[in-house]
C-alpha cells in the first residue's frame, strides 16, 4: 500500500453507488479497506466481472452471513480494530442488525462511523426509496441543468451519488479521522446525497440571492444560456466545448474563428444571444473537430474537444499526465488528487466475494484458529 492514508483501516459494509465510490477514494489513497460482502449474490448493482467493477478496486473481501450471530460478532470485532466504517443502508438497518453506531462505539470509541443515504438519517423522507435523480431534484440542482424551454437533463449520476454523496462522505471521514487524533473520540457522519448536492450548488444559491442568476434553465452564463459557454457541432458531426467567459478570452475566440466583432452582437447583449449563437454555430460547422483542435487547443479561447469514454484516455494531455491507467486490460481513471510525497496507488482490482478475506483477517490480527472457527460457524466464506 502507498498513499497519505497508509495505516488507516476502513471497514466497508457492501452497498452500491456512493459507498463503494467513497471506499475507492480511500483505498486509492492507501487505506486498508476491507469489504464485508454477503455470502449470497444480491441485487447490489449489475453483475460484472470484478475487474470491471472499478469502484471496488483496492479492497479485500470477507463474505459473511449477517443472519448468523458469529458473523455479527466478527463485524463488531473488526469495528473494534478499524479507524472508520462505511455503511449505506436505509436509516435503522444497521441498528436492527446489531451493528449500529452505539454497538460499534462500545467496541471502539475512536471509530469514525460513516453513513451515506439519499435523504439523511431523519426527516420526512428518511425512509423513502430514491436514486440520484431524486436527490438532486430536491436540492435544486436538477432544475438548473438543461436547455431553455426543455425538461431538466440528469447529469449522469455524478452530482448526487458521487459528488454530493461518496466524495462528501470521504471528505467527512477524513475530517473526523483528523479530529479524532486530538480528541480520541469517534463520531457519526450523516452524509445525505440531497444535502451534498445542495452544497455543490453554493455558488448558484449565492448568485441567485444577489440577483445575478435567473431561476430558469438555459438563460444564464453557465447553463447553455450564453453562446460562448456551450458545445458546438463540427463538420464531422462531433462536438467541441467553449468556455470563453472573460472578455479577453472571448475576443480571442472571435478572432480565431475568423469573425468580425464589429458585425456581431456584444458579448453580454442578452437579447441578441440567439444571433451570436447562430454565428458561432455556423463557424464551427466549417471544420472538423480535429481541425479545430489543431487551431484552438492550447490557446486562451478556453477550448476542448468533447471526447467519448473511448477517446479520452488516448488524448495527449491525459497520456502525459497519466490520468488513466490500465489494470487487467481495463482502462480506468487513475487515483486523484496527486500528492508530491505520498502518491496514491491502486493496490489491486476489485475482489471476488470473499477474495483475500483470510489474509485480511490475519493482517487485522486474527490467528488461523480464529479464522477457522468463523468458517466452521458458517459465518465466513473464503
For the question of residue 317 being annotated catalytic, the response is: no
Catalytic residue among 77, 83, 161, 230: 161
CB 160 within 8 A of CB 192: no
SS3 340: coil
**In this structure, what DSSP letter does residue 165 have?**
I
SS3 62: strand
Torsion of CA 351, 50, 162, 110, to 10 degrees: -10
Work out the burial of residue 262: count CB atoms within 10 Å of its CB; fewer than 13 is exposed, 13-18 middle, 19 or more buried.
Answer: exposed
Triad 235, 240, 246: Cα angle to 5°: 130
Triad 223, 227, 230: Cα angle to 5°: 55
Widest pairwise Cα distance in the chain: 83
CB 79 within 8 A of CB 104: yes
Cell of 59: 479492497
CA distance 282 to 228: 13
CB 34 within 8 A of CB 11: yes
User: Strand 303-305 vs strand 112-117: parallel, antiparallel, or unpaired?
Assistant: unpaired
CA distance 146 to 222: 11
CA distance 203 to 201: 6
Whose CA is closest to 192, among 76, 91, 59, 320? 91
Residue 260's φ and ψ, nearest 5 degrees, are -100, 110
Catalytic residue among 131, 143, 208, 239: 131
Whose CA is closest to 91, among 111, 117, 124, 129? 117
Radius of gyration, CA atoms only, the chain: 25
CB 228 within 8 A of CB 238: no
Whose CA is closest to 19, among 5, 35, 4? 35
For the question of residue 230 being annotated catalytic, the response is: no
Q: Provide the annotated active-site residues.
A: 131, 161
Amino acid at each position: 500500500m502507498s498513499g497519505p492514508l497508509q495505516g488507516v483501516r476502513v471497514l466497508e459494509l457492501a452497498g452500491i453507488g456512493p459507498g463503494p465510490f467513497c471506499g475507492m477514494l480511500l483505498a486509492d489513497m492507501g487505506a486498508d479497506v476491507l469489504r464485508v460482502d454477503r455470502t449470497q449474490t444480491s441485487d447490489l448493482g449489475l453483475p460484472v466481472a470484478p475487474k470491471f467493477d472499478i469502484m471496488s478496486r483496492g479492497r479485500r473481501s470477507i463474505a459473511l452471513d449477517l443472519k448468523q450471530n458469529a458473523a455479527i460478532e466478527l463485524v463488531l470485532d473488526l469495528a473494534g480494530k478499524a479507524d472508520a466504517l462505511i455503511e449505506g443502508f436505509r436509516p435503522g438497518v444497521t441498528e436492527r442488525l446489531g451493528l449500529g453506531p452505539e454497538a460499534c462505539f462500545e467496541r471502539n470509541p475512536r471509530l469514525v462511523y460513516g453513513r451515506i443515504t439519499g435523504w439523511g438519517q431523519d426527516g420526512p423522507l428518511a425512509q423513502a426509496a430514491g436514486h440520484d435523480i431524486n436527490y438532486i431534484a430536491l436540492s435544486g440542482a436538477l432544475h438548473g441543468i438543461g436547455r431553455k424551454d426543455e425538461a431538466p437533463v440528469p447529469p449522469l449520476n455524478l452530482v448526487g451519488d458521487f459528488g454530493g454523496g461518496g466524495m462528501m462522505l470521504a471528505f467527512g471521514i477524513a475530517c473526523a479521522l483528523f479530529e479524532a487524533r486530538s480528541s480520541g473520540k469517534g463520531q457519526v457522519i450523516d452524509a445525505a446525497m440531497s444535502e451534498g448536492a445542495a452544497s455543490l450548488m453554493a455558488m448558484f444559491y449565492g448568485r441567485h440571492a444577489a440577483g445575478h442568476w435567473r431561476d430558469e434553465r438555459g438563460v444564464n452564463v453557465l447553463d447553455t444560456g450564453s453562446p460562448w459557454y456551450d458545445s458546438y457541432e463540427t463538420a464531422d458531426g462531433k462536438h467541441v466545448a467553449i468556455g470563453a467567459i472573460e472578455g479577453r478570452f472571448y475576443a480571442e475566440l472571435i478572432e480565431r474563428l475568423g469573425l468580425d466583432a464589429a458585425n456581431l452582437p456584444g458579448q453580454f447583449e442578452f437579447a441578441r444571444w440567439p444571433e451570436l449563437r447562430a454565428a458561432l454555430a455556423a463557424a464551427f460547422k466549417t471544420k472538423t473537430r480535429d481541425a479545430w483542435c489543431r487551431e484552438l487547443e492550447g490557446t486562451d479561447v478556453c477550448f476542448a474537444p468533447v471526447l467519448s469514454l473511448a477517446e479520452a484516455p488516448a488524448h495527449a494531455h491525459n497520456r502525459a499526465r497519466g490520468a488513466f491507467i490500465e489494470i487487467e486490460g481495463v482502462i480506468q481513471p487513475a487515483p486523484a488528487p496527486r500528492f508530491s510525497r505520498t502518491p496514491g496507488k491502486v493496490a489491486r482490482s476489485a475482489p471476488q466475494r470473499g477474495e483475500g478475506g483470510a489474509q485480511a483477517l490475519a493482517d487485522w490480527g486474527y490467528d488461523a484458529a480464529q479464522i477457522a472457527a468463523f468458517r466452521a460457524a458458517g459465518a465466513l466464506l473464503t
